[in-house]
Amino acid sequence: MAENGSSLIVCKVLFDPMQSPAIRKIARDLMRDFLKAKLFKKDVIACLQDIIAGRDYVWSDFTDVPIQDPTLDQIRLQVLALEGSHASPDGSAYLNVEGIAILEGIIRGLRKSEPPDQR
């Protein structure tokens, strides 16, 4: 997947509705590996802020793709686990009030670990 041509082919297969679900799954898995290194601490903070703001489309974008940095990937897995343990009772959002509070705590922790010039 290191070459741009390979990633372009995978993208075309991934978004081609004529492809079988099995082929699209393989393409998605390949793309997931390709995208793994793309998120940094500031990106994770932005994703969590978007989730808190109710931009639900960010949820699967963030939780479905592993992150190369093991610390940030643990945060992704922690957020994913919140869906089951802190789901919104009426189904109107991914998280209830307690889940949102946990996300806010994660953001505070990430910001504390940033150098002052990176905040």
Tell me what pLDDT residue 26 has.
76
Other CB atoms closer than 10 Å to residue 114's CB: what's the count?
12
Instruction: Give rounded-to-5 percent helix, strand, coil for the chain.
Output: 70, 0, 30
Question: pTM here?
Answer: 0.66
Where are the chain's structural domains? 4-36, 39-118
At 103-115, the pLDDT tens digits run 999 999 999 986 6
CA distance 29 to 36: 11
Average pLDDT of the residues in 72-77: 94
- Cβ(97)–Cβ(66) under 8 Å? no
Residues 6+ apart with CB under 8 A from 66: 32, 36, 73, 76
Digit-coded pLDDT (tens) for 18-44: 777 887 777 777 766 665 656 789 999
Measured CA to CA, the distance from residue 119 to residue 113 in angstroms comes to 10
